Each structure stands twice: as C-alpha cells, then as structure tokens.
C-alpha cells in the first residue's frame, strides 16, 4: 500500500516563509535521465510520491511529512522528502531551452554586484543595464544585459562603453538550464542541490559557485 495514500494530494498554495520561520527549501525535480527540470514546493513533491511517480532520489531529507493512517496497523505513516527527486510519468519532461530574463535571475547571475563599479548592492538598489543601449539597436537579451547600480546606469545613459572608457567586470552570458535553476533559487538552495546542478554548469556558470 502506498504509505501516502491518505495524504492530502491537493497542493494548496502556501506561503514560502511561514510566520516567524525560515524560508522553506524547495525540492529539485529531475527527469529520469537526471536532467534538472524545476523546483517544487514540498506539497507538490508529496503528490508525486502519492502517485508513485518518484523513481529515485538524492540528497538529505529536507522535510518530514505525515501521511494517512495505515488500516492494518493503525499507525500514521511518515515520509522524509529528499532534496532531489527524479520522476517518471507518461512523457519524459524535457529541460527548458529558453529562460525568461527576469531581474531576479539577472542580479543573481551577477552576484548582486554592479558590473561597472564592482560594488555589492541589495536587489532594490540595482537595475538592468543594456550594454548596447536599446536606442542603439541593443537587444533585451541575456548576452546584452548586466546588473548595474542606479548611479552607474544613470551615468552611462545611452552611451556605449567605449564612449566613456568603461569596462565590464565580467562578460554577460546566457545561463544554461542548470545555471538558470540555481539562479532563480539562489537564496535558499541547499548544498547538495548546488553540488548536483554545478556539475552541469558551463565554464561561465562556475562563477555562481
Ligand atoms: Zn555601479
């Protein structure tokens, strides 16, 4: 009998940060080939276990979840949710090949530093700067955007770097699938999850570690 058959399998939206608590870690979902697919809330992971779709897992237990009562023993079941799970199902999930360019992921890519003055900032103090300005034909894409503080962004305006003699601290790059997942969860990623994803980083992405 599935130990979680009595578990509530409706993934109700719940706050990531419980009152007075620490942000709940996410669970990294892989496909059966071991390719990272997405981050799950623990409720979604419970559903996958209840549907017996989890083929194998890795990493430490991040959360213990109590299931239903076993009819035979009258005992309540419990499962430890690991930090990484590989799931099957009808069609094998494919990693994404394009990733939305959000400021959250961009700032994480550049490690919350202004790539002009090299100083670290809080997210609220940072902006997205187009290396080749939009007004000069630059595109709003990963390879043409960097994190910049408001001061540097304002000073640069719609000029090219060579116009003002500036250099970038690092070259902008498009993250691959593993890098993107690490970026969008960078504030609460667990060590074993980072280790797993880092093995699939490109040479550029090694700067994330
Ligand atoms: Zn700056």
Span from the CA of 101 to the centroid of ligand 1 (angstroms):
21
Length of the chain: 209
| pTM of model > 0.95 | no
Confidence (pLDDT) at 113: 96
Pick the closest to residue 145 from 114, 117, 187 (CA basis). Answer: 114
Span from the CA of 114 to the centroid of ligand 1 (angstroms):
5
Domain spans of the chain, in order of start: 1-94, 103-164
Whether residue 135 has pLDDT greater than 70: yes
Confidence (pLDDT) at 21: 57
Span from the CA of 201 to the centroid of ligand 1 (angstroms):
27
Whether residue 69 has pLDDT greater than 80: no
- Ligand 1 (ion): residues with CB under 5 Å are 114, 116-117, 149, 152
Phi, psi of 136 (to 5 degrees): -110, 20
Q: How open is the CA angle 146-151-153, to the nearest 5 degrees?
A: 35
CATH architecture of 103-164: Orthogonal Bundle (1.10)
- 207 versus 39: the higher-pLDDT residue is 39
What pLDDT, in 10s, does the model give residues 168-202?
Answer: 999 999 999 999 999 999 888 999 999 999 999 98
């Amino acid at each position: 009998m599935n130990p979680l058959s009595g578990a509530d399998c409706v993934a109700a939206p719940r706050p990531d940060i419980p009152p007075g608590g620490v942000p709940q870690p996410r669970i990294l979902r892989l496909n059966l080939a071991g390719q990272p697919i997405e981050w799950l809330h623990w409720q979604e992971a419970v559903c996958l276990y209840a549907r017996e779709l989890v083929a194998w897992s890795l990493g430490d237990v991040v959360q213990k979840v109590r299931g239903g009562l076993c009819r035979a023993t009258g005992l309540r079941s419990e499962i430890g949710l690991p930090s990484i799970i590989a799931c099957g199902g009808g069609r094998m999930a494919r990693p994404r090949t394009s990733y939305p360019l959000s400021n959250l992921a961009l700032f994480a890519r550049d490690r919350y530093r202004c790539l002009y003055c090299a100083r670290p900032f809080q997210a609220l103090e940072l902006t997205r700067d187009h290396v080749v300005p939009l007004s000069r034909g630059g595109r709003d894409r990963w390879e043409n955007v960097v994190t910049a503080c408001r001061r540097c962004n304002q000073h640069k305006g719609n000029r090219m770097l060579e116009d003002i003699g500036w250099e970038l601290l690092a070259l902008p790059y498009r993250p691959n699938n593993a890098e993107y997942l690490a970026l969008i969860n960078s504030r609460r990623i667990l060590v074993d999850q980072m280790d797993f994803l880092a093995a699939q980083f490109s040479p550029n992405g090694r700067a994330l570690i």
